[in-house]
Amino acid sequence: MNERLNTIDTSRLPQHIAVIMDGNGRWAKQRGLDRTFGHKEGANTVRRILRECGRLGIPYLTLYAFSTENWNRPKAEVDALMSLLVSALHDELPQLMENQVRLNVIGNLEDLPLPCRQGLDDAIRQTSANTRITLTLALSYSGRSELKNCMKKIAEKIENQELSSKEISDEIILQNLYTHALPDPDILIRTGGEQRVSNFLLWQIAYAELFFSPILWPDFSEEHLRDIIIQYQSRERRFGKTSEQINASKQ
């Protein structure tokens, strides 16, 4: 067994890791290839990182696969990404079943092309009883549009007198987010060297530990992931409290 794996404390694993998978385009460009090759290689990284999370026992992995802003990319690249998604869903389904992966999606799904929606619906249905790890793909996703959508739903409930404004709580907000069935991420990783959150899970990352890796997503390995988990376990998460309070609550 890898030595580094031994240094991960399996009793304090993060429950939810969210990833902004950046750097596919640059990875391809560095090799004189079309950007779509970078996305294909990025899909291989998805497979490796998903397998590693399953192996470690991390129950939730959420990946920023396509933002609402990504619709502004050249049509050929958008089309290639959508086809890659459809073929990956089809090809990976047996593996998802074998590894007990439950597929989930968040985002403005009505924007996606029909074959993509059908592929997703099919994979979500077939994997719905799997229990090892929930893989959530954020597709045509924007944190601000998720929050707008949440506010509209709550406002409608108030208009219909199903809810009063005094009852709005973190719990009510969570119930009206796309991520209502997921715990908040403990870790947010962004690969590719940029240090920003780019409209991803804005409500949910309030207390997430942030990790910015210079590694381009196609080169991001299981070992890079394990290094981040080890660093995460050495950080003290205080949720606004003092160190003393945190230590006292552990005793």
Nearest residue to ligand FPP, scored by beta-carbon proximity: 25
Q: How far is residue 14's CA from residue 185's CA, in Å, rounded to a whole number?
A: 8
Two tokens at 138?
Answer: 């954020």
Q: How far is residue 167's CA from residue 169's CA, in Å, rounded to a whole number?
A: 6
Catalytic residue among 6, 24, 44, 70: 70
Q: How far is the CB of 142 from ligand FPP (least distance, A)?
A: 13
Q: How far is residue 31's CA from residue 216's CA, in Å, rounded to a whole number?
A: 13
Q: How far is the CB of 106 from ligand FPP (least distance, A)?
A: 13
Q: How far is the CB of 7 from ligand FPP (least distance, A)?
A: 28
Catalytic residue among 2, 6, 9, 22: 22
Complex with ligand FPP: residue 176 or 179, whichever CB lies closer: 179
Distance of CA 148 to the CA centre of its chain: 20
22 is catalytic: yes
Complex with ligand FPP: residue 39 or 102, whichever CB lies closer: 39
Long-range contacts of 144-153 (CB under 8 A, 24+ apart): 144/199, 144/202, 145/68, 145/108, 146/106, 146/177, 146/178, 146/202, 146/203, 147/177, 147/202, 147/203, 149/176, 149/178, 150/176, 150/177, 150/203
In one-letter notation, the amino acid at residue 247 is: N
| Interface with ligand FPP (CB under 6 A) | 21-26, 35, 39, 42-43, 46, 63, 65, 70, 84-85, 88, 137, 192, 217
Q: How far is the CB of 25 from ligand FPP (least distance, A)?
A: 3
Complex with ligand FPP: residue 27 or 232, whichever CB lies closer: 27
Say what the alpha-carbon torsion angle 1, 17, 179, 80 is, to the nearest 10 degrees.
Answer: -90
219 is catalytic: no
Complex with ligand FPP: residue 4 or 48, whichever CB lies closer: 48
User: Catalytic residue numbers?
Assistant: 22, 70
